[in-house]
Amino acid sequence: MTTLPAQTEKKLGLVIDLDTCVGCHACVVSCKGWNTENYGAALSDQNAYGKDPSGTFLNRVHSYEVQPETGAAQTIHFPKSCLHCEDAPCVTVCPTGASYKRVEDGIVLVNESDCIGCGLCAWACPYGARELDQAEGVMKKCTLCVDRIYNENLPEEDRQPACVRTCPAGARHFGDLGDETSDVSQLVKERGGFDLMPEQGTKPVNKYLPPRPKDEQIDILAPLLEPVAAEPTGFLGWLDKTLEKL
Amino acid sequence: MHPAPSIIFFTVFSGLGFGMLAFLGLGKPDVSGFTAFIFFAIAYALAVGGLISSTFHLGNPQRALKAFSQWRTSWLSREGCLAVATLIVMGLYAIGVIFFNTRIGLLGLLGAILCVCTVLGTSMIYTQIKTVPRWHHWTTPLVFLSYALTGGAFLTGQVQVAAAGLVTIGVLQILAWVIGDKRFAGSGSTIESATGLGTIGKTRMFEAPHSAKNYLMKEMVHVVGRKHARNLRIIGLVLLSLLPWALLMFFPFSHLLALVAILAHIAGALTTRWLFFAEAEHTVGLYYGQRG
């Protein structure tokens, strides 16, 4: 049923640290790998080795340049996937009931055998988190690796989303954002985690941590390398004067 | 947004069909027998043809029946249910008019009301989409309804109503464009709010997440067609409203002239409906450094 639950028991989601992300795209690759080999229709590619390759991804890393009022511009890598919104507009527009938000953990999922591939949910999402697979004609989205996080066949350390498990920088964190005492909630509180496009009223569960302020002084050795003599003396002084005269 | 031909045909022709059925339901024109059959056949061909066209853009059209189940929350589902209900009620009414020369007025009235509701249902599929601020406004249902009723009046030979409708449609369409052009800026969504990086400074796209286009960009970041938007608006408005209105008002009525006027009107409706999609900006465009 496409009616949203009034509240969910847990709010499972991701916290993404924009300060730590190095933009390596490992999360993109591991996500595509896991979600192609496991639950649901594979994430297909079209013309993968041709002139105009494209494909379905549940997670993509953008890069932005931010110019502060003073100082140098900063490059910020920005991974983006489904935010598992509390007030998910993608769910209520679904005409078939294929899209739903789980009461037990708040994960937004698509029942692929009910999806007619109308694409309306992708239109309703402000973030571009849903992509219609061009081979299967069904809507694909981040499942928060629902087939990993509860999977008792996997070693305990692997029971987290593939993107979190693979991130070499530790920029991605997974947990219950509905529990104020959880590690992820503490992290959001400490670092001032924020919502994307809050004005859209979607109440995203996933949070982003802002980049930390950059150090004013970039190189601690720089002051020691200042020129010791402003005016050349000796042979160089003679050369300088002679060349001036020419 | 991507102006998919199947969706343009669906909204224009099903609108015309339901507009036509609304007038037939009110007994305008008061026809029976074979003449009535022709009128109803054209109306059903337009309405049903449009609805079938809408299934062409589905990834899995074989499951389309499931789309009738979520009327509690989904406007797309509601529109489907309303369309079927309308076609059934008007079908029963048509049987009376065509075969028994009996007009059940109350049934026709109910059918006409359902026709209006169906067109409003179609318009709400787009109006509800908050991510496209241009659509998310009261002008959208009014524009859709005025298109359907004007076209319906035209096709059922209600010249006076059609002439008034053509003026209304022109005014509403201009209003929708003038208001619509300011909607995205007024929504408050910017690349800074989309990325949350506005607290540091001015943000711009540095590198796209992929080397070629993807579904999101094809579907929701359609910018190519906007190059000629201004000219197309003028052409669309002339064909949609001005030319057919002038033909109806200033020339003695003839069937050939009416046919030219109707064809111009439909060509205009297809043009402005193309613009309705092509000019619609989606917030996801912000992540790509482009306004939808």
pLDDT per position as a tens digit, A5-55: 888 889 999 999 999 999 999 999 999 999 999 888 999 999 999 888 999
The tens digit of pLDDT for each residue in A120-133 reads 999 999 999 999 99
Judged by CB atoms closer than 8 Å, whether chains meet at A137 and B212 is answered as: no
Residue of higher predicted confidence among A119 and A225: A119
User: With bands split at pLDDT 50, 70 and 90, how would you rate the model's confidence at A105?
Assistant: very high
DSSP 8-state symbol, A15: E
Contacts of B193 (CB under 8 A, 6+ apart): A196, A197, A198, A199
Within an 8 Å CB–CB cutoff, is residue B48 touching chain A?
Answer: no
Measured distance CA(A227)–CA(A230) in Å, rounded: 7
Calculated CA dihedral for residues B107, B113, B118, B121, nearest 10 degrees: -150
The sign of the CA dihedral A105, A110, A111, A112 is negative
Which residues of chain B make contact with A75, given a CB cutoff of 8 A?
Answer: 206
Write down the pLDDT at residue A9. 87
Residue of higher predicted confidence among B267 and B250: B267
User: With bands split at pLDDT 50, 70 and 90, how would you rate the model's confidence at B291?
Assistant: low
Q: How far is CA A90 from the centre of its chain?
A: 19
- Residue A245 covered by a domain: no
Question: In the predicted model, is pLDDT for residue B125 greater than 90?
Answer: yes
Q: How many domains is chain A partitioned into structurally?
A: 1
What is the DSSP secondary-structure string of B141-188? Answer: HHHHHHHHHHHHHHHTT-HHHHHHHHHHHHHHHHHHHHHHHHHHHHT-
The tens digit of pLDDT for each residue in A222-237 reads 777 777 667 777 888 8
The pLDDT > 70 percentage for chain A reads 97
Write down the pLDDT at residue B212. 83
Question: In the predicted model, is pLDDT for residue B123 greater than 60?
Answer: yes
In chain B, what is the straight-line distance between the N-terminal and C-terminal CA atoms, in Å? 7
Write down the pLDDT at residue B267. 96
DSSP-derived 3-state class of residue A165: helix
Average pLDDT value over all residues in chain B: 92
CA-closest candidate to residue A93, choices A114, A113, A122: A122
Find the residue in B nearest to A73 (Cα): B201
In CATH, what is the architecture of B5-288?
Answer: Up-down Bundle (1.20)
Contacts of B22 (CB under 8 A, 6+ apart): B111, B112, B115, B116, B148, B149, B152
Question: In the predicted model, is pLDDT for residue B199 greater than 60?
Answer: yes
| Beta-carbon-side half-sphere exposure of residue A53 (alpha carbons within 13 Å) | 8
Strands A207-209 and A172-176: unpaired
Q: How far A164 CA sits from the closest chain B CA (Å)?
A: 18
Calculated CA dihedral for residues A104, A160, A124, B212, nearest 10 degrees: -170
- Residue A25 covered by a domain: yes
The tens digit of pLDDT for each residue in B160-169 reads 899 999 999 9
Find the residue in B nearest to A92 (Cα): B73
Show the tokens assigned to B137: 């406004």
Within an 8 Å CB–CB cutoff, is residue A76 touching chain B?
Answer: yes
- Residue A176 covered by a domain: yes
Of A26-30, A230-234, B9-13, B36-40, minimum mean pLDDT range:
A230-234
The pLDDT > 70 percentage for chain B reads 99
Judged by CB atoms closer than 8 Å, whether chains meet at B130 and A125 is answered as: no
Contacts of A234 (CB under 8 A, 6+ apart): none
Residue with tokens 């200033």: B250
B204 and B191 in contact (C-beta within 8 Å)? yes
- Residue A43 covered by a domain: yes
The tens digit of pLDDT for each residue in B226-255 reads 778 889 999 999 999 999 999 988 888 788
Q: Detail the DSSP E strand segments found in chain A.
A: 12-17, 45-46, 54-55, 59-67, 74-81, 99-101, 108-110, 131-132, 139-140, 172-176, 207-209
Q: How far A25 CA sits from the closest chain B CA (Å)?
A: 9
Contacts of A184 (CB under 8 A, 6+ apart): A13, A15, A173, A174, A175, A176, A177, A207
Measured distance CA(A81)–CA(A56) in Å, rounded: 12
Contacts of A151 (CB under 8 A, 6+ apart): A158, A159
CATH of the domain at A16: 3.30.70.20
Question: In the predicted model, is pLDDT for residue B85 greater than 70?
Answer: yes
Q: Which of B1, B60, B197 sits opposite A64 (nearest CB)?
A: B197
Cα dist from B288 to B14, B132, B209, whole Å = 34, 16, 9
Helix axes B105-127, B139-155, angle to 10 degrees: 140
The pLDDT > 90 percentage for chain B reads 77
Write down the pLDDT at residue A72. 86
Write down the pLDDT at residue B211. 84
Write down the pLDDT at residue B66. 92
Q: Say how many C-beta atoms besides its own lie within 10 A of residue A218's C-beta.
A: 8
Write down the pLDDT at residue A229. 67
Write down the pLDDT at residue A1. 61
Residue of higher predicted confidence among A117 and A240: A117
Measured distance CA(B215)–CA(B59) in Å, rounded: 13
Strands A108-110 and A131-132: unpaired
Task: Give the long-range contacts of residues B148-151, CB within 8 A, separation 24 or more.
Answer: B148/B15, B148/B16, B148/B18, B148/B19, B148/B22, B148/B115, B148/B119, B149/B19, B149/B22, B149/B116, B149/B119, B150/B19, B150/B265, B151/B15, B151/B16, B151/B19, B151/B20, B151/B265, B151/B266, B151/B269
Show the tokens assigned to B213: 């286009």
- Residue A31 covered by a domain: yes
Looking at residue B131, its amino acid is T
- Residue A109 covered by a domain: yes
Write down the pLDDT at residue B22. 96
Question: In the predicted model, is pLDDT for residue B292 greater than 60?
Answer: no
Judged by CB atoms closer than 8 Å, whether chains meet at A97 and B70 is answered as: yes
Structural domain containing residue A130? 12-209
Within an 8 Å CB–CB cutoff, is residue B186 touching chain A?
Answer: no
Question: Which of B51, B63, B128, B288 has the highest number of chain A CBs within 10 A, making it the mutation to test binding with A?
Answer: B63
> A124 phi and psi, to 5 degrees?
-75, -20
Question: pTM here?
Answer: 0.89
Write down the pLDDT at residue A188. 96
The helix or strand, by DSSP H or E, that contains position A149, with its residue range, turns out to be: helix A146-149
Measured distance CA(B192)–CA(B169) in Å, rounded: 37
